[in-house]
């Protein structure tokens, strides 16, 4: 990652004009400073550095609008599925070849197949080509101090970003990412960057803008982010299904974890394309299409492991289907 060190120490940021310090003096900024001090042991000098960083942060209300209208919240599956396009499939297959060693090492260490890792990179950043052009400082200050409903989450990420920048010697004004503050080819939020990113190429720097580290970090994420939904080596993600009658209105669908067993599907008129043990945990996915119908799938444990990366069904479905297409492109049937 091309982020210069703090060559001038805290003095560099201290020169930020106080007239623009709308976030340094925000009503909730003290919560940021308190967390930095109490939870991360920031000294008075480090707190002054953090305050100067927030003095330079810009309020960008359009980022809140982007977060609230993210495509996985507002589009039908028909429209969202357009992301599984020919260029992504082709470039995903190329990634399997160009980074075969790192992907093989990830599968060996974490059990996550290369095509799934590649699909995450494809959906997130088109394989590292679009990692975001918003200053992370601006994104997290805006979302963490002015978001109408999610300030606690984003404020904690703002704190994590300042800690990360301090640990790595970054100028916090230089790192760029998404409207939500996600960074690198893998689009990790700062807390996950600190907790789960790995130096997979062993060059002494954990850099998620470098593909080997992004690949390794995705593998570790699926295993360590939420142990109860950790990736299970060798298991599939999905099973196609058909429904012989409309699903009951009160039936939970598109949940974030399995809430049924395979045996219960028959009573609901759902026929999976593959049989599983009766006590196998499953969930029902109902994906709205542009024609008003719904596409029915049975989600298995590893599908919900993908949802820990982004808790939206459309996102996880796009990853699952792109992974299948990448595999077919890279290893076509004879």
Q: Is 67 tagged catalytic?
A: no
12 Cα distance to chain centroid: 32
Per-position DSSP letters for 29-51, written without gaps between them? HHHHHHHHHHHH---HHHHHHHH
C-alpha distances in Å from residue 111, one per residue of 16, 218, 331: 47, 11, 19
Contact indicator for 29, 145 with CB cutoff of 8 Å: yes
**Residue 222, C-beta contacts closer than 8 angstroms, at least 6 positions apart:** 110, 112, 230, 231, 305, 306, 308, 309
DSSP classification of residue 260: E
Taking alpha carbons only, the member of 152, 112, 146, 125 closest to residue 308 is: 112
Edge-first strand listing for the sheet containing 260-261: 260-261, 281-288, 294-299, 238-243, 270-272
d(CA 257, CA 34) in angstroms, rounded, equals 35
**Residue 279, C-beta contacts closer than 8 angstroms, at least 6 positions apart:** 261, 262, 263
Q: Could you tell me the two tokens for 53?
A: 């960083």
Contact indicator for 129, 123 with CB cutoff of 8 Å: no
CA quadruple 132, 135, 139, 144: dihedral sign:
positive
157 Cα distance to chain centroid: 13
Q: 124, 264, 295, 328: which is the annotated catalytic residue?
A: 124
Q: Which residues are catalytic?
A: 124
């Amino acid at each position: 990652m091309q982020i210069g060190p703090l060559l001038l120490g805290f003095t560099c940021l201290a020169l930020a004009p106080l007239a623009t310090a709308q976030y340094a003096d925000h009503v909730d900024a003290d919560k940021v400073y308190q967390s930095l001090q109490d939870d991360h042991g920031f000294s008075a000098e480090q707190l002054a550095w953090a305050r100067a960083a927030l003095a330079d942060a810009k309020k960008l209300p359009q980022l809140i609008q982007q977060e609230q209208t993210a495509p996985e919240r507002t589009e039908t599956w028909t429209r969202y599925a357009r992301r599984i396009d020919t260029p992504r499939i082709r470039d995903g297959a190329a990634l399997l070849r160009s980074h075969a060693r790192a992907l093989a090492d990830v599968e060996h260490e974490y059990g996550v197949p290369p095509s799934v890792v590649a699909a995450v990179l494809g959906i997130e950043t088109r394989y590292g080509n679009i990692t975001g052009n918003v200053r992370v400082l601006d994104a997290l200050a805006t979302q963490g101090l002015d978001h109408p409903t999610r300030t606690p989450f984003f404020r904690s990420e703002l704190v994590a970003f300042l800690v990360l920048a301090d640990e790595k010697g970054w100028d916090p004004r230089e790192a760029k990412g998404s409207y939500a503050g996600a960074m690198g080819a893998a689009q990790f939020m700062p807390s996950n960057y600190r907790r789960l990113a790995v130096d997979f190429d062993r060059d002494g720097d954990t850099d998620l803008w470098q593909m080997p580290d992004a690949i390794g970090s995705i593998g570790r994420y699926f295993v360590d982010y939420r142990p109860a939904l950790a990736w299970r080596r060798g298991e599939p993600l999905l099973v196609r299904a058909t429904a012989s009658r409309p699903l009951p209105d009160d039936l939970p669908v598109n949940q974030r974890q399995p809430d049924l067993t395979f045996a219960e599907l028959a009573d609901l008129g759902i026929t999976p394309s593959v049989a599983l043990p009766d006590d196998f945990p499953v969930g029902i996915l109902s994906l709205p299409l542009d024609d008003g119908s719904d596409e029915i799938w049975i989600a298995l444990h590893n599908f919900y492991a993908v949802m820990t990366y982004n808790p939206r069904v459309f996102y996880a479905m796009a990853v699952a289907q792109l992974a299948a297409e990448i595999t077919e492109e890279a290893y076509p049937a004879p």
